[in-house]
């Protein structure tokens, strides 16, 4: 009897008939009301139905009698991740790893640390057994620490040569190293995936590098549809429009990127550069309030262009101490010197 009810419940769940599935599992629960797997199935269905409180209630029932029940802890972690409660998700992931000692569960701890941009903490862990997923997370952390994770991601790819996630991270590393030709070759080996925003963004960057702006925009706009809350994709749309000399949509997309990440100095600098190209100096200066080197340099150039030579000279002399070989700074200092002495 219970086997038939379980079978019926799993079939209904797989087809998305959650209410009917939960009824079947409830009937099975009347026969075996202590089964942690049954309680977990009910919790999972309630979560799929968007009834989080009911789901938590059944997870707690399992963990009250079996605190090391990994299936329930994994569902709890998923719930935390879905609502971006990453600290709670991280602690739950740690609990799972301490129970399982599975390297892929440790990789999930690393993934959550990466999501929180706590990259250096990953390297404080003693890793008993390496997996390709751990190699991926280590390479990811190194990339965002400004280090080279190329060898690590290559080892992961050796284990899983067709893993798109690994190949895309390798692409990011190569792109940052300015190995654009290798990026082109890599892109040709990754199958098109309209549902993968990372793939679409990477493909867009390569097409932008190749000055195929129409195709680049197609990819970036698809990435925006897949992940509408990611500022980087709007920024890449904007930069492509700007390169194609389409300033109106470029300004629109820069502003969307800024609205999503208002503290990102690169986005403000890019918008300022657009205003500068239109000789809208006041609007440009409004976007140049960061300590970004490029922002300070553009501000100095605007001061020069608007006739504030002495102030521009002072700003440029401070900047050249940070970059003695900057040809743009040297050029403007020479212009100012000539104008002040003639």
DSSP assigned state of 170: H
Round to whole Å and give the CA distance between 334 and 328: 10
Closest CA to 300 of 280, 285, 279: 285
The predicted pLDDT at position 1 comes to 61
Token pair for residue 36?
A: 């942690």
Name the helix (H) or strand (E) containing 306: none
Rg (CA), the chain: 27
Alpha helices in 244-292 (DSSP H): 247-260, 265-277, 281-286
Query: Residue 234, CB half-sphere, CA atoms under 13 Å: how many?
Result: 20
Q: How far apart are CA 191 and CA 59, in angstroms?
A: 39
Cβ atoms of 105 and 97 within 8 Å: the answer is yes
Q: What is the DSSP secondary structure assignment for residue 148, as one 8-state letter?
A: -
The percent of residues in the chain predicted with pLDDT above 90, rounded, is: 86
pLDDT tens over the chain, length 342 residues: 677 777 787 888 888 888 888 888 788 878 877 788 888 998 999 999 999 999 999 999 999 999 999 999 999 999 999 999 999 999 999 999 999 999 999 999 999 999 999 999 999 999 999 999 999 999 999 999 988 899 999 999 999 999 999 999 999 999 999 999 999 999 999 999 999 999 999 999 999 999 999 999 999 999 999 999 999 999 999 999 999 999 999 999 999 999 999 999 999 999 999 999 999 999 999 999 999 999 999 999 999 999 999 999 999 999 999 999 999 999 999 999 999 887
Q: How far apart are CA 23 and CA 38, in angstroms?
A: 12
The string of pLDDT tens digits covering residues 85-99 is 999 999 999 999 999
pLDDT in tens, 232-268: 999 999 999 999 999 999 999 999 999 999 999 999 9
CA atoms of 150 and 147, how far apart (whole Å): 9
Nearest to 176 by CA among 148, 199, 215, 153: 148
Residues 6+ apart with CB under 8 A from 145: 119, 120
The model's pTM: 0.86
Outline where DSSP puts E strands in 54-172: none
Strand, helix or coil for residue 2: helix
Question: How long is the chain?
Answer: 342
Q: Can you read off the two tokens belonging to residue 45?
A: 């269905």
Tokens of 41: 């199935």
CA dist., res. 249 & res. 104, Å (int): 43
């Amino acid at each position: 009897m219970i086997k038939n009810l379980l079978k019926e419940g799993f079939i209904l769940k797989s087809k998305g008939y959650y209410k009917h599935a939960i009824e079947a599992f409830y009937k099975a629960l009347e026969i075996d009301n202590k089964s942690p797997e049954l309680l977990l199935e009910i919790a999972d269905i309630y979560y799929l139905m968007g009834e989080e409180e009911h789901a938590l209630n059944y997870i707690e029932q399992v963990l009250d009698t079996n605190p090391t029940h990994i299936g329930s802890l994994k569902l709890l972690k998923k719930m935390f991740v879905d609502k971006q409660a990453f600290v709670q998700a991280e602690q739950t992931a740690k609990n799972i790893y301490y129970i399982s000692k599975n390297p892929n569960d440790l990789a999930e701890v690393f993934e959550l640390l990466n999501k929180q941009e706590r990259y250096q903490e990953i390297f404080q862990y003693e890793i008993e057994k390496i997996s390709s997923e751990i190699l991926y997370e280590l390479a990811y952390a190194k990339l965002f620490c400004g280090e080279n994770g190329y060898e690590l991601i290559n080892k992961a790819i050796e284990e899983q040569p067709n893993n798109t996630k690994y190949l895309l991270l390798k692409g990011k590393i190569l792109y940052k190293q300015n190995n654009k030709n290798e990026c082109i070759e890599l892109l040709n080996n990754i199958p098109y995936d309209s549902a993968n925003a990372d793939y679409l963004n990477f493909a867009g960057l390569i097409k932008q590098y190749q000055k195929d702006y129409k195709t680049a925009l197609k990819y970036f706009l698809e990435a925006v549809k897949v992940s509408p809350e990611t500022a980087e994709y709007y920024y890449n749309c904007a930069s492509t429009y700007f390169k194609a000399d389409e300033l109106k949509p470029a300004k629109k997309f820069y502003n969307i990127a800024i609205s999503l990440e208002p503290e990102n100095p690169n986005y403000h600098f890019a918008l300022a550069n657009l205003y500068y190209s239109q000789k809208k100096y006041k609007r440009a200066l409004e976007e140049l309030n960061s300590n970004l080197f490029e922002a300070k340099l553009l501000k100095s150039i605007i001061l020069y262009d608007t006739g504030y030579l002495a102030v521009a000279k002072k700003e440029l002399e401070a900047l050249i101490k940070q970059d003695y070989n900057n040809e743009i700074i040297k050029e403007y200092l020479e212009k100012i010197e000539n104008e002040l002495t003639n």
